[in-house]
Amino acid sequence: QPTILWLRQDLRLHDQPALVAAAHEGAVIPVYILDDAAAGSWAIGGAQRWWLHHSLTALDEALQAKHSRLILRRGDTAATLASLMQETGATRIHAIRHYEPWWREAETALGDALELHDGNHLARLEDVTTGAGTPFKVFSSFWRAIQAHLPPPEPLPVPHTIAAPAHWPASDTLTDWDLLPTAPDWSQGFATDWTPGEADALAKAHDWHRDVAAYDRRRNLPSEEGTSRLSPHLHHGEVSPRTVYHALRKPAEAAAFLRELAWRDFTSGVLLALPRYGDTNGRPKYDALPWRKGAGAKADLKAWQQGRTGYPIVDAGMRQLWTSGWMHNRVRMITASFLVKHLLIDWREGERWFWDCLVDADYGNNAVNWQWIAGTGVDANMFGRIMAPLSQSEKFDAADYIREWVPELKDLPAAAIHDPDDHGVRPAAYPAKIIGHREARERALAAAATLR
């Protein structure tokens, strides 16, 4: 009897405990199911569909090199797996554990046939809890607690052989799934920056030890390539965090980086406690916040999405996002804060836009970071803390970053590029600020004051 290997955001052969367990039992049927209905409004976004197409292609090639293959099916996850079991005579399914609420529902529906393995996080999150046994809601406490679980176990090697079943079940083809954008094809910039698949993910993870010591100094500078750019690979599980950890060689010198890597674990822990965190304010008090909603807000949202707010750092970030499917973390913070505080638009609008545009869009990471910036979340940040985009841009020396992504401003000197309006050098092709900083700040604080 073959065993089913159910693949989700774990599209790899290295350090794949579910694969190791399945291969140990005999013939393996690796399957990926596209189930847009299960996730509801959190079905995979546009940029990620591009990534998924290429990542699944790469995974199938890696499996074929081991005389195996990837079976593709579309439909309700639990029903599809049940029918695959019937077709193939398989009685067991191995999979890696995930924390998105729709995955947990599908896992429950599969009952005893499913065996879950830990492997997509640094630690088993059910074990990193408060004294009362509940998940942490504040990162600093989580970070202290996870130390007891580090280092994570050494990564597992790829099984020597992955035995094929006597008969392969039918499979869709990727072209049936239409994951790649057509008319217009907005994904052209993606291929310049990214190569989806395990090979590139592993190469990046193994090269990263060279730069990690400078991470703490460089990570906030958008003009430099000071971060690992592992996020889409980690989200799709093309490399495991354990592999990333052990590839560092000297983890003690990489504390600042490991702290950020642990944020991934933290956000999954938040989902354990609050599975609907992507849709619901962590603090219900904010349900009454008077977000702007009319035609003016719609026009402002569009200007933000298109990178035409008149704030160069915000516009650079939003254009980087659209073109490359990724945005520098410091700039994610600035653009998110700008939408929520300066434009007084509900954080969920921004979260949705990021979901559709990011190649690393991740339900937990996206929701927790948006709520943290908005100040609506369960952690300690406050709505009244308003980032000043223009001084952030200067402080983190974003001039070259702006020149790269906002070509209208490329000839401006560093002193004027952060705020061309104020210096009287705004080119006609570049929009004026859609709102002044002081006015925006007062409006946001007045809105927050209505909650008291």
Q: Quickly tell me which residue has 């160069």 as its tokens.
A: 312
Stretch that binds ligand FAD, among 8-16, 63-71, 360-368, 377-385 (CB under 6 A): 360-368
Going by the DSSP 8-state scheme, the letter that residue 252 receives in this structure is G
Stretch that binds ligand FAD, among 25-33, 45-53, 116-124, 325-333 (CB under 6 A): 325-333
Distance (Å, whole) CA 90 – CA 82 = 9
Mapped to the 3 state alphabet, what secondary structure does 259-319 carry?
A: HHHHHHHHHHHHHHHCCCCCCCCCCHHHHHCCCCCCHHHHHHHHHHHHCCCCCHHHHHHHH
Q: Is residue 151 reached through a cis peptide bond, with omega within 30 degrees of 0 on the bond before it?
A: yes
Please return the burial class of 113, using the count of CB atoms within 10 Å of its CB with bins 0-12, 13-18 and 19+.
middle
Active site residue 322: no
Q: Which helix (H) or strand (E) holds 89?
A: none
Q: What minimum distance in Å lies between the beta carbon of 343 and ligand FAD? A: 14
Contact 439, 336 (CB under 8 A): no
Active site residue 6: no
Name which of 69 and 229 has its Cβ closer to ligand FAD.
229
- Residue 388 half-sphere exposure toward CB, CA atoms < 13 A: 10
- Which phi and psi angles does 89 have, rounded to 5°? 80, 5
Residues contacting residue 247 through CB under 8 Å, at least 6 positions apart: 205, 206, 208, 209
9 binds ligand FAD (CB under 6 A): no
Please return the burial class of 274, using the count of CB atoms within 10 Å of its CB with bins 0-12, 13-18 and 19+.
buried
373 binds ligand FAD (CB under 6 A): yes
Distance (Å, whole) CA 143 – CA 357 = 29
145 binds ligand FAD (CB under 6 A): no
Stretch that binds ligand FAD, among 16-24, 130-138, 258-266, 387-395 (CB under 6 A): 258-266
Active site residue 329: yes
- CB contact burial 158-169 (16+ within 10 A = b; e otherwise): bbeebbbbeeeb
68 binds ligand FAD (CB under 6 A): no
Alpha-carbon torsion angle 353, 355, 360, 363, nearest 10: 140
Name which of 32 and 245 has its Cβ closer to ligand FAD.
245
- H helices present in 340-398, as ranges: 347-357, 363-374, 389-395
Of 366, 376, 392, 393, the one binding ligand FAD (CB under 6 A) is 366
Active site residue 105: no
Tokens of 100: 């998105």
SS3 call for 409? helix
Q: What minimum distance in Å lies between the beta carbon of 302 and ligand FAD? A: 19
Stretch that binds ligand FAD, among 231-239, 296-304, 432-440, 442-450 (CB under 6 A): 231-239
Distance (Å, whole) CA 114 – CA 4 = 9
Active site residue 260: yes
Name which of 264 and 418 has its Cβ closer to ligand FAD.
264
Of 263, 277, 304, 353, the one binding ligand FAD (CB under 6 A) is 263
**Amino acid identity, residue 27?**
A
Distance (Å, whole) CA 419 – CA 433 = 9
Of 219, 236, 246, 403, the one binding ligand FAD (CB under 6 A) is 219
Stretch that binds ligand FAD, among 111-119, 230-238, 247-255, 414-422 (CB under 6 A): 230-238
Binding string, residues 277-316; x marks residues near ligand FAD by CB under 6 A:
----------------------------------------
Of 15, 118, 346, 362, the one binding ligand FAD (CB under 6 A) is 362
The catalytic residue among 25, 143, 186, 329 is: 329
Q: What minimum distance in Å lies between the beta carbon of 406 and ligand FAD? A: 20
Of 146, 221, 230, 313, the one binding ligand FAD (CB under 6 A) is 230
Q: Quickly tell me which residue has 């061309």 as its tokens.
A: 420
Active site residue 370: yes
231 binds ligand FAD (CB under 6 A): yes
The catalytic residue among 347, 353, 355, 405 is: 347
Of 63, 146, 270, 333, the one binding ligand FAD (CB under 6 A) is 333
The catalytic residue among 143, 177, 186, 291 is: 291
356 binds ligand FAD (CB under 6 A): no
209 binds ligand FAD (CB under 6 A): no
Contact 427, 409 (CB under 8 A): yes
358 binds ligand FAD (CB under 6 A): yes
Stretch that binds ligand FAD, among 28-36, 122-130, 260-268, 414-422 (CB under 6 A): 260-268
Of 369, 371, 376, 393, the one binding ligand FAD (CB under 6 A) is 369
**Amino acid identity, residue 146?**
I
Residues in the chain: 452
> Which residues sit at the interface with ligand FAD, rule CB under 6 A?
219, 227-231, 234-235, 260-261, 263-264, 267, 329, 332-333, 336, 354, 358, 360-362, 365-366, 369-370, 373
Catalytic residue IDs: 260, 263, 291, 329, 347, 370
